[in-house]
Structure 1
Amino acid sequence: MSFNNPAKLVLLALAFPVNAWSQTASVDANELTILRQQIQALQQRLSELEQAQQAQQAELAETKAAYPEEERAQNQAVAAEEETEQTVSFGGAIRTNYSYTSYDDDSKNRGGDFDFDIFRINMDVNIDDVILSGEIRFFDYMTAIKYAYAGYNFDEDWQVLVGIAPVPFGHRPYNSQNWFFSTNYYLGLEDDFDLGLLFRRKMADSWQLDLGFFKNDELGGVDGFVDNRADRYSYDIVGIRGEDEGIFADPATPAGEYNTFSGRLAYQINAMGVDSQIGASLLTGGIHGVEDKAGDYHAWAVHWQAEWHNWLLQLQHTQYQYDVGDAERMAVGAYSFFDSIAAEAKSTTFNLAYTFAVDWGPVSSLQVYNNYGLVYDKSDRSRNTLMNITGLALAAGGLYTYFDFVTARNQPFVGGSSVGNDDDTEQRFNINIGYYF
């Protein structure tokens, strides 16, 4: 018998003297009957207390059985949050490229060329609200840092980035789906990164505001301590072209952008099952020569993006102007290569894409697209730049491959230059194969 129940102890305490007295003395029958009734009442009460105690223990057992699951779920959520907020990760890519072009007879005679593209390494660090991120790219002919910045999340809405950070302008993150980007990229107005400070603000549920101040380009501006000012990923101004200067020559009059302010405001709309984002971008800054200020530059854009089921539509109109005296052309540099652009022009781009989710062995996604871009009304009166790319992007695990058919006129890397005067269009069939890890 268990002695943990106080009611049992009381019953025994009362029962013991009764039994002892019955053995040593005569007890009146009426008194004995009364005592037995009292004992039966105590036993009944004891039974009720035991039943109540058993019910309470069963309820407690159910609660204890459920609690570890809740605690485990909470611990997993906390662990997941800690893993998200305190992580150090490395990644990268190895890419190769095949091309067959209409403008290179030697390449056509060989049946096209297959070359190494890049090896790149990415690093991302999240420690509580501190962010560190960077990417370095290794080519056969140069090494370039695409971006490298530190950041801090003030709260769930405000974020600041410092370093080689993205310049907020136009569609984010890209105004294209193909491997070549859009015509804006070669003007320095897509996927551009400069040295400065960027504030990002998510306003309510629909507004997005980006404000940036960039001291100079990623290589330190006009007097940056570098061997070659064209060894960079992003297109930037590197000089002012003279009237008799070659399109691809090293700039005789070096120059660089500085003290640039950039802002991008976008509004998200969901109507009739279509997710749309409409926005506007603006940037303004100075152009500095080796010794003195050479002028100013400005650009603005309006952009609209719509997503419906698997469809994606992007429209953007852009205008830019470099006000540097009587100069009608500017020298730009990227990929260890100098080129030229008009000092003032307009640009319009139109992109349409559709994504298929598939289950073809390792292949999980296909995206087909057509990207069109036109640069016109150029200040140097050169012919329009046109580029249309019809392509397919295939994802299979870590393997991502672009199949692009490019038709272009006066377009860099498709047999021309942004300030070319060709009437003929050129074609390029391109396959870029990359393994991302």
Structure 2
Amino acid sequence: MTKLSKLTLALVLGGVTSTSYASDDLDTLQSQLKQLKQQMQLLENKLADEKTKQQQINKQHEQQVANISKKSDQKVVEVAAAEPEKKDEGIKVGGAIRFNYSTNTYDEDTQDRGGDFDFDIFRINVSGEINDISLNGEIRFYDYMTVVKYAYLGYEFADGWEGQAGIAPVPFGNGPYNSHSYFFSTNYYVGLEDDFDLGVVVKRKLKDNWKLDLGFFKNDELGGIDGGSSDINHRYSYDIIGSRSAEEGTYDAPGSRIGEYNTFAGRATYQIEHSKNITTDVGVSLLSGGLHDGNDRAGNYGAWAFHVDSTINNWNIQFQHGEYDYDLDDSSDRFVVGAYAYYDTVSSEATMTNFNVAYNYSLDWGPVTDIQFYNDYGIIYDKSDDSADTWMNVTGMSVAAGGFFSYFDFIQARNQPFIGGTIIGDGDTERRFNINIGYYF
């Protein structure tokens, strides 16, 4: 064989061997690719299963959240539906306990002790509404007497009109008070402020700037001349309980009993809106009734007043002027009033004038949230018995701090009950410093 033939044969055999080797490598590679593809398919299937499981978990979670939200919505709806009913229905019970410190110029023993700190009152209040009938009541416990201040039922029989029956407020003068201090005004001590009697009141709530109160009172809160109470001066409101003869002392029990009956009272008020924070209530009050001695009519009585109550931002200004007249058949020019287990004597006819100013100040000082500074002045003059004028000036402030409400008053007065005098007196000008501390619940 020649060299060329040998070389050719070698090249052919080498090519065949290389081809064989390449074919083997290709088979191996294809086998590996197939295995890899199978593994990838398994991984994809696994991922798909995991995705499906996660979707199921998410769906279950979303359903749970939806269920919880649905229950919450239902709860809110139920509370919203029930809240007005709970708000309107039911009777609330509250009250107060108060203590009083005072020192004055008309009691030397008190001055020697540096003043006295006494228990004032424990009271219980009830208010609320059941089946559209409202209830309001207050009972007071003093250390010397227990009295019902008011107790009446109310019903709104027409839109904006309410009727009240029981021991109800007598509509007269600036309301609810013609004063700012703990001592009220001079009118209170002749029965013409914060008075309550047995009867019926029809009230027109403020609408179109007008407010109207009309009342008919059969007799005073203790049942009048034939009332069942043996302690006729154990009461909160001042009322006539007798005629005062010249032979009787100023603070004696009346020798001749008299009681009021069939009293009509009315108050009409118009509110002027000057601007958003400035309003003025201008009103007129009238009162007329009879007097009875238990057997026959013993006279009649009446009163009138013109009053203004103006709010100017934080300021409050009150003015009231009027007269009262008790025309007794026995021609007496004095009559007896009773309240606080106490008798006093009042001129049967007189003129009354009051002027009060107050400023309200809100603050954030510990528990203190509101302070009201005030000066209340009142005078009773032109009396039928020619006795000296009665006047009282109270300079002070009230402080609200959480459940506590307190009055700090400096009083100067002449011939004023509870300030060392009496309505028919002719005494000196007296002074009293008074602190009344109350917790209200």
Aligned residue among 268, 285, 290 for 1:286: 290
Counterpart residue number, 2:140: 137
- Say which is worse superposed, 326-335 or 197-206, in terms of deviation: 197-206
Q: Deviations over 1:162-184 (max 9, x none)?
A: 10000000111111110010000
Counterpart residue number, 2:301: 297
Distance across 2 between alignment mates of 1:67 and 1:158: 42
**Is contact 1:162–1:198 with CA below 8 Å preserved after alignment?**
yes
Counterpart residue number, 2:278: 274
Q: Deviations over 1:36-87 (max 9, x none)?
A: xxxxxxxxxxxxxxxxxxxxxxxxxxxx999999987765554332123202
After superposition, the Cα gap between the structure-2 partners of 1:71 and 1:184, relative to the gap in structure 1 and judged at 3 Å, is farther
Q: 1:23-422 maps to which residues of 2 (within 5 A)?
A: 76-202=79-205, 204-272=207-275, 273-325=277-329, 326-422=331-427
Q: Percent identity of the aligned residues?
A: 54
Q: Which letter maps to 2:165?
A: V
Distance across 2 between alignment mates of 1:406 and 1:181: 11
Q: Deviations over 1:220-260 (max 9, x none)?
A: 11121112100000000000111222111000010010000
After superposition, the Cα gap between the structure-2 partners of 1:331 and 1:81, relative to the gap in structure 1 and judged at 3 Å, is same
Distance across 1 between alignment mates of 2:230 and 2:362: 46
Distance across 2 between alignment mates of 1:211 and 1:137: 27
**Is contact 1:153–1:159 with CA below 8 Å preserved after alignment?**
yes
- Say which is worse superposed, 126-135 or 209-218, in terms of deviation: 126-135
After superposition, the Cα gap between the structure-2 partners of 1:74 and 1:204, relative to the gap in structure 1 and judged at 3 Å, is farther
What is the SS of the residue equivalent to 1:106?
helix
* Aligned-residue offset at 1:125: 2.5
Distance across 1 between alignment mates of 2:165 and 2:319: 30
What is the SS of the residue equivalent to 2:111?
helix
Distance across 2 between alignment mates of 1:217 and 1:198: 14
After superposition, the Cα gap between the structure-2 partners of 1:245 and 1:81, relative to the gap in structure 1 and judged at 3 Å, is same
Q: Deviations over 1:334-373 (max 9, x none)?
A: 0000001100001000110001111010001100000000
After superposition, the Cα gap between the structure-2 partners of 1:99 and 1:78, relative to the gap in structure 1 and judged at 3 Å, is same
Counterpart residue number, 2:440: 436
- Say which is worse superposed, 123-132 or 284-293, in terms of deviation: 123-132
Distance across 2 between alignment mates of 1:240 and 1:101: 31
**Is contact 1:84–1:126 with CA below 8 Å preserved after alignment?**
no
* Aligned-residue offset at 1:113: 0.4
After superposition, the Cα gap between the structure-2 partners of 1:77 and 1:370, relative to the gap in structure 1 and judged at 3 Å, is farther
What is the SS of the residue equivalent to 1:234?
coil
Structure-2-length-normalised TM-score:
0.82
Distance across 2 between alignment mates of 1:102 and 1:330: 28
Distance across 2 between alignment mates of 1:347 and 1:381: 15
Q: Which letter maps to 1:127?
A: I
- Say which is worse superposed, 84-93 or 363-372, in terms of deviation: 84-93
Distance across 2 between alignment mates of 1:334 and 1:184: 14
Counterpart residue number, 1:12: none
Larger Rg: 2
Q: 1:11-22 maps to which residues of 2 (within 5 A)?
A: none
- Say which is worse superposed, 401-410 or 263-272, in terms of deviation: 263-272
Over the residues paired in the alignment, what is the CA RMSD in angstroms? 1.9
What is the SS of the residue equivalent to 1:154?
strand
Aligned residue among 426, 430, 434 for 1:426: 430
Aligned residue pair count: 374
**Is contact 1:348–1:373 with CA below 8 Å preserved after alignment?**
yes
* Aligned-residue offset at 1:266: 0.4
* Aligned-residue offset at 1:153: 1.4
**Is contact 1:317–1:349 with CA below 8 Å preserved after alignment?**
yes
- Which blocks of at least 5 consecutive residues in structure 1 are unaligned? 1-63
What is the SS of the residue equivalent to 2:197?
strand
* Aligned-residue offset at 1:381: 0.4
Distance across 2 between alignment mates of 1:366 and 1:204: 31
Q: Deviations over 1:274-327 (max 9, x none)?
A: 211000000100000121110000100110011011100000012000011311
After superposition, the Cα gap between the structure-2 partners of 1:171 and 1:70, relative to the gap in structure 1 and judged at 3 Å, is farther
Q: Which letter maps to 1:322?
A: Y
